[in-house]
Amino acid sequence: MNKALILGVTGQDGSYLSELLLDKGYIVDGLMRRSSVPTCYRLYNVISNPNFKIIEGDVSDTASIFRIIDDGQYDEVYNLAAMSHVGSSFFQPYAVAYIDYLGELNVLEAIRKYSPPNRHYFAGTSESFGSSINKDGFQNELTPFLPNSPYAVCKVAAEMMVRVYRESYGLWACYGILFNHESPRRGENFLTRKVTRYIGRLIASDFQLPEKLQLGNLNSFRDWGHAQDFVRAMWMMLQQDKPIDYVVGTNKTHSVKEFVERAFQYGGGLDYKEYIEINPEFIRPLEVPFLCADSSRIRLELGWKPEITFDELVDEMVSHDIKVALKEKDYN
Ligand code: F7E
């Protein structure tokens, strides 16, 4: 039986990846930070599976990462642990550096010292491209990185460190340059979920919500896919013969305004303009204006492609959040 470690198991991607690996017959250990409030709520499908175990630790704590990787002797180590909110990274640049950059360095160093046969996946990001776009309007593996936030700078540093450890020490390590990926398990302060949660609450309140939805920049473009499709790409990347870094995305882009418009339409033909307000608090000091993947390499070489469309994603998130809000209303 293959044995995998997932750092960042309590997040959106960690929960979907746990389900995927357990379905494939893996033994899965998930790293979780100690917390006084419940953080396992996304793991409802796996928490009582006998092949799944939570281990306490922190990616930024060198001692715990060294010990866990030495003790575990895993076949595959996935580092998805991150402070992943781009806007917040402007307010907490040191936290991002410790978690997103030094955290990955801890993992690489632990594998090099204690478990070199591990295959290792690091969660890179399309934010690494920042303002950089190919002449054809897409971003692929050849597009130069030009990060526009503390989050993206730390991710680029970690991605480069993966390459350096691979080329210097022969580690079987790669990173995925993943474009935005969402789901009903997305954190509530990311754009998509913030919008769908609001729509759910609006409908559950019979349109009596006192506050409007406060948003920032509606004019940026994102390539939004479904997290379930994207964790499959992570796993596929570790099944190939050689460690190769791939761009993963849907190859289609939509503006924030378009996402908001569609979501309100799915919520019963609502006109978003009646319900939103632009609040400068949510406008970032520096924005990534346009992201659109050219993921032809992973499609060609590994046969990956997304199965869930943008419309299905929006529909699933809105339907889910209407149900959640109605349940909350009953409970109250
Ligand atoms: O913003 C705009 C915002 O925070 C999307 C992370 O997973 O994907 C994600 O990063 C867009 C931006 O995601 C609000 O300015 C407008 O242009 O949902 P987001 P992100 O910044 O694209 C990449 C690939 C990652 O790696 C990251 O970890 O929406 N926007 N108004 C807003 N965004 C938020 N959060 N809140 C607003 O009120």
- Note the pLDDT of residue 53: 98
Q: How many C-beta neighbours within 10 Å does residue 73 have?
A: 12
Q: Residue 131: CB partners within 8 Å, gap ≥ 6? A: 146, 148, 288, 289
**Ligand 1 pocket check for 99: Cβ under 6 Å:** no
Separation CA 289–CA 59 (nearest Å) = 31
Backbone angles phi, psi at 269, to 5 degrees: 70, 35
**Ligand 1 pocket check for 193: Cβ under 6 Å:** no
β partners of residue 293: 139
**Ligand 1 pocket check for 80: Cβ under 6 Å:** no
Annotated catalytic, 253? no
Q: Which residue has the tokens 């529909």?
A: 315
- Note the pLDDT of residue 101: 98
Atom of ligand 1 nearest to the CA of 217: 16
Backbone angles phi, psi at 289, to 5 degrees: -75, -30
- Note the pLDDT of residue 330: 85
The CA 215 to ligand 1 mean position distance, Å, reads: 11
Structure tokens at 152: 């993206």
- Note the pLDDT of residue 331: 79
The CA dihedral of 120, 126, 132, 137, to the nearest 10 degrees, is 120
> Whose C-alpha lies nearest to ligand 1, atom 27?
84
Atom of ligand 1 nearest to the CA of 126: 24
Q: From 13, 80, 86, give the residue whose CB has the most ligand 1 atoms within 8 Å, as the site to mutate.
A: 86
Backbone angles phi, psi at 224, to 5 degrees: -100, 120
**Ligand 1 pocket check for 220: Cβ under 6 Å:** yes
233: left (phi over 0), alpha (psi -120 to 50) or beta: alpha
Annotated catalytic, 151? yes
- Note the pLDDT of residue 221: 98
Q: Tell me the mean pLDDT per 10 residues along the chain, length 332.
A: 97 98 98 92 97 97 97 98 98 98 98 96 98 98 98 98 98 98 98 98 96 98 98 98 98 98 96 98 98 98 98 98 95 76
**Ligand 1 pocket check for 87: Cβ under 6 Å:** yes
**Ligand 1 pocket check for 158: Cβ under 6 Å:** no
**Of 19, 76, 104, 127, which is the active-site residue?**
127
